[in-house]
Structure 1
Amino acid sequence: MSDLSGGPSLPQERRVVTAIPGPKSQELAARKQRAVADGVGNVLPVYVKRAGGGVIEDVDGNSLIDFGSGIAVTSVGNSAEAVVRRATEQLADFTHTCFMVTPYESYVEVAEQLADLTPGDHDKKTALFNSGAEAVENAVKIARAYTGRQAVVVFDHGYHGRTNLTMALTSKSMPYKHGFGPFAPEVYRVPLAYPFRWLTGPDNCAEEAAAQAIDQITKQVGAANVAAIIIEPLLGEGGFIEPAKGFLPRIAEFAKENGIVFVADEIQSGFCRTGQWFACEDEGIVPDLITTAKGIAGGLPLAAVTGRAEIMDAAHAGGLGGTYGGNPVACAGALGAIETMRELDLNGKARRIEEVMKPRLRKMAEQYPVIGDIRGRGAMIAIELVRPGTKEPAADVTAALAKACHQAGLLILTTGTYGNVVRFLPPLVIGEDLLNEGLDILENALAELA
């Protein structure tokens, strides 16, 4: 049996029957060591057999509670019924033609859906790609073509990908950039309104950070030279940072005043993850361009740039595309994922996840002062761990906490510029019993570490 959220006949329960990882996973890890480049690491080397709903089942028969969703990808559940159905039908018809050679309807339909779902009632167009980094690179290309300018402005703690241009855009050196330079030129980084770490406190954060960022752009780059400002409305790899309220609107206003293309990178935060279709909606931001990937297609590789038609049309014919961009099977998966999001009201489910998680995390913070901050929205929530009584990052405690949770059968992910943030990205279809059991495991692990 299966439902819209996927996971055919997969019991929604935690089950730990071996060490984590178990013997079969260890055998596969040995094969991986011989065959796969060392640069491709694993958070938790349990090898997956099945996944669905809120669990991941490994080859040893362990069933882990999933608080990761493949890094915010399987928001609709793994192997969601509509994704599988539509992708399977497409597989039987054809797997590839290349949209730039002989096109097909599903690409157009995905573009139509994105025009409907993304913020703003202006005319919009879309181009489809394979990955988030590819979407960001193409957003830069489009912005440069439209403005005739070259400079790109990004923010402290931002993450935009691992390709050459997106490494330049990404803030954190290790592991994303270290040893891989030189990087693309004409990229400028300015301060972010990070409330927990703003020196004068959170109350002044938005106004001061926006003033500093705008001052740096104006003096060091020149607003007339900036093609695009790119920001994650709720930062991902930087530590699930919510920019202080008022910061994003001021930056968007500055961009509009100066003819700069404002790009919202919603690759991790999009598609119901924050309890809204897109995180930028929280403060009424209507970006010129929006980049999406991850949750768009239920686990199949797809990404998009969607934006104002006049901006999207600035690139010459043939200037955008790629052999696999908008692959028909991935497009079918995206249509199935969007169908599931609508039918199951996954925005509502994300908000309910926040209602369950945040009160429990606040109680843990009262008991365990290692939790310095709780932040995020919907099902994109994080805790930042510090030395009690300070804001000194506790990366070692964060790693130990993750390991303890993994051993107990809960998959959690760490993140953050300082490696001291635990992020929670459960599938939006997870049952509340599993959600609370996962929080029990987290609380027990905190107690043991304390």
Structure 2
Amino acid sequence: MSAIPQERRIVTAIPGPKSQELQARRLGAVAGGVGSVLPVFAARANGGIIEDVDGNRLIDFGSGIAVTSVGSSAEAVVRRASAQLADFTHTCFMVTPYEGYVEVCEQLAELTPGDHAKKSALFNSGAEAVENAVKIARAYTKRQAVVVFDHGYHGRTNLTMGMTAKNMPYKNGFGPFAPEIYRVPVAYGYRWPTGEENAGAEASAQAIDMIVKQIGAENVAAIIIEPVLGEGGFIEPAKGFLPAISKFATDNGIVFVADEIQSGFCRTGQWFACEDENVVPDLITTAKGIAGGLPLAAVTGRAEMMDAPHSGGLGGTYGGNPVACAAALGAIETMKELDLNARAKRIEEVMKARLAAIQEKYDIVGDIRGRGAMIAIELVKSGTKDSNPEATGALAKACHAEGLLVLTCGTYGNVLRFLPPLVIGEDLLNEGMDIIEAAFARV
């Protein structure tokens, strides 16, 4: 049984008095550069509910940005992490190793696409995984250039800021950035000038042409892409785009990296989003949903590539922390036992049907997209494709006031994204959709 009743409950204004007190303390102690979507302070969370310090219960359509896919206190995660806490919290895998790290790497080899020999290295965060994927690709190819895509997001470290497309809030004022990063077009179907049906072929041809002419394929170490672009607006590259880019990489000795940090681990209704078009990446980066809320990330890939860096060239004090590894094994156990891929597909079915009905009524819904429990709507000005960040912000605010946590994203700030925990009950899912529908009626 869930520790928290799986029902929405609003007992104060949102945020309530205790959250407001904590917010005042926060303003005195926490750096201003760290933002928050909703200044409601969590006390407990489980399943599809976040309970705040005032006793309000909010429906969670955010999952801590796609992290708590198995819920915020999944039984297997708590059980395994607690047992590990009692044994030891840390030795550093690079000093004295432990079985949990090896077991996570074995699971990653089994679960990730492709039947080639694979190895993994574990880190703390998505950005760290991406940086290390670049290091591995450079060590393997002896080349330097890195190719990324419009609307892509890869992290907040110096290298990954350079790889990220959006300036505000991720890059502004933080340069100079690492060199040898090149950006090419992505097949953004909804906004492709000649229509979605042409986007895959035309965008891949354009991207490849730019790589060949402007960089030289023989200089490219890695091509890195999110199979569903996350912060950029939950953009699914139009069909044919990913296979074409992957084939170009293979044909030219370039390491093809799938950044599955937001889209991995059942989020899209498959273990990994790149499986949708049978794309087998050379390297795959994971984090977020991997460990039920504990900080863990990985690079998994072809054994010969993973072995290219010299001994000691990969690592980090906390990378693959034993408690985080135990949590990951608990999260993977939960995903398998509850068949969370099937649950994600059911969430898509429910949400897309409800969103289509909203789109019928309101012409500011330009596009509904995404897969599994990674769904978004792009909001535009009536009768145009001009972005509508004002309506997006107003809708998010209206949902928050009613006790539904939703997030926004997109290069133009005009996308409402939905990332419910994969374990959310269907009643809560529908209640959340009711709130979204009512918010449209109001806004």
- TM (norm. structure 2) is 1.00
Aligned partner of 2:269 in structure 1 is: 275
| Counterpart Cα distance in 1 of 2:265 and 2:200 | 26
Moved over 6 A (4+): none
Which structure 1 segments of 5+ residues have no match? 3-7
Give the 3-state SS of the residue equivalent to 1:306 in structure 2: strand
Q: Which amino acid aligns with 1:374?
A: I
Q: TM-score, normalised by structure 1?
A: 0.98
Say yes or no: does 1:77 pair with 2:71: yes
Task: State which of 273, 293, 298 in structure 1 corresponds to 2:287.
Answer: 293
The answer on 1:339 being equivalent to 2:362 is: no
- Which residue among 3, 6, 21 is the counterpart of 1:27? 21
Aligned-partner residue type, residue 264 of structure 1: A
- Report sequence identity in percent: 79
Cα distance between partner residues in 1 of 2:285 and 2:101:
16
Deviation per residue, 1:321-347 (Å, 9 max, x gap): 000000000000000000000000000
User: How far apart are the structure 2 equivalents of 1:270 and 1:430?
Assistant: 18
Q: Is 1:117 matched up with 2:93?
A: no
Q: Compute the displacement of 1:200 (Å).
A: 1.1
Q: Distance in 2 between matches of 1:130 and 1:79?
A: 20
The 8 Å contact of residues 3 and 46 in structure 2, kept in 1 or not, is answered as: no
Query: 2:138 matched to which residue of 1?
Result: 144
Partner of 1:380: 374
2:347 counterpart of 1:353: yes
* Secondary structure of residue in 2 paired with 1:57: strand
Q: Secondary structure at the match of 1:244?
A: coil
Does structure 1 retain, via aligned residues, the 8 Å contact 2:12–2:54? yes
Q: Measure how far apart 1:201 and its partner are.
A: 1.0
- Tell me the equivalent position of 2:194: 200
Number of aligned residue pairs: give it.
443
Given residue 38 of structure 2, which amino acid in structure 1 is its aligned partner? L
Alignment counterpart, residue 12 of structure 1, candidates 6, 22, 30: 6
CA drift of 1:149 comes to 0.1
The answer to whether 1:213 aligns with 2:211 is no
CA distance in 2, matches of 1:286, 1:39: 38
- 1:385 Cα shift? 0.2
> Map of 1:227-246 to 2, 5 A cutoff?
227-246=221-240
Q: 2:243 aligns with which of 246, 249, 253?
A: 249
Structure 2 equivalent of residue 392 of structure 1: 386
Partner of residue 405, structure 2: 411
Shift of 1:9: 2.1
Q: CA deviation at 1:258?
A: 0.2
1:161 maps to: 155
1:95-123 per-position Cα deviation (integer Å, ceiling 9, x unaligned): 00000000000000000000000000000
Q: Residue 99 of structure 1 is aligned with which of 93, 96, 99?
A: 93
Per-residue Cα deviation, 1:318-371 (whole angstroms, up to 9, x for no partner): 000000000000000000000000000000000000111101100100001110
Counterpart AA for 2:413: G
TM-align CA RMSD? 0.4
Cα-to-partner distance string for 1:181-237 (whole Å, 9 max, x where unaligned): 000000000000000001111111111100110010000000000000000000100
Q: Which runs of 5+ in 2 are unaligned?
A: none
1-structure distance, mates of 2:197, 2:136: 36
Q: CA deviation at 1:273?
A: 0.2
